[in-house]
Amino acid sequence: MTDIETTVRNLATIAAAKKLLAEAEAREKAALASQVTRGTNYAYTAAGEELGYATVPKPSKPTPAIVITDAAQMFPWLVETFGPEVIEERVVLTDQGRKSFEAYVLEAHKAAGSEDYFDLPGVSVTVPPVRDPAPRFTPAKNVVELVRGMAARGELDLSQVLALEGGEK
């Protein structure tokens, strides 16, 4: 097996481990919620070193949410109750207007042929630097089952993949 194949296989193993860890975490949090209604619980190693703690906070009180369904209908009441200073008129660019404007600006910028020259008051065009492509790994939908099978057949050592042996890197 090549180094690249080993690395990609390790990524598949890590993806499976993430899914299994997420499931285990959800299971343990549900168990904690069923056992503790509120408070903090600490975990320790056999030597008495603190590993961390889990908390169950007090429940939050729901707060009413106000939804304005039609502001224009409430304006007369607002002005009558609080005075004319509670409202303002303003011009807003519509979504379609923004799309049309951006298309025009990009075309004009392209036609100008240079980042240094673009003459439209109140508008600047910046071009971000090209980023180096970052490696990505997309696991198979059944990666957990596949990795479990590999582990059962002895095809991988999870402690080696996760660098559990030999100290921290």
59 phi/psi in degrees, rounded to 5? -65, 145
Q: Quick check: 116 pLDDT over 60? A: no
pLDDT above 90 as % of the chain? 22
Dihedral, CA of residue 65, residue 72, residue 87 and residue 74, to nearest 10: -60
Q: Quick check: 144 pLDDT over 70? A: yes
Q: Is 39 left (phi over 0), alpha (psi -120 to 50) or beta?
A: left
pLDDT given at position 132: 77
Low-confidence winner among 58-62, 70-74, 119-123 (lowest mean pLDDT): 119-123
pLDDT given at position 115: 59
Q: Quick check: 114 pLDDT over 80? A: no
Compute the distance between CA of residue 87 and CA of residue 73 in angstroms, rounded to an integer.
13
Q: Quick check: 68 pLDDT over 70? A: yes
Of residues 157 and 166, more confidently modeled = 157
DSSP conformation class of 53: E
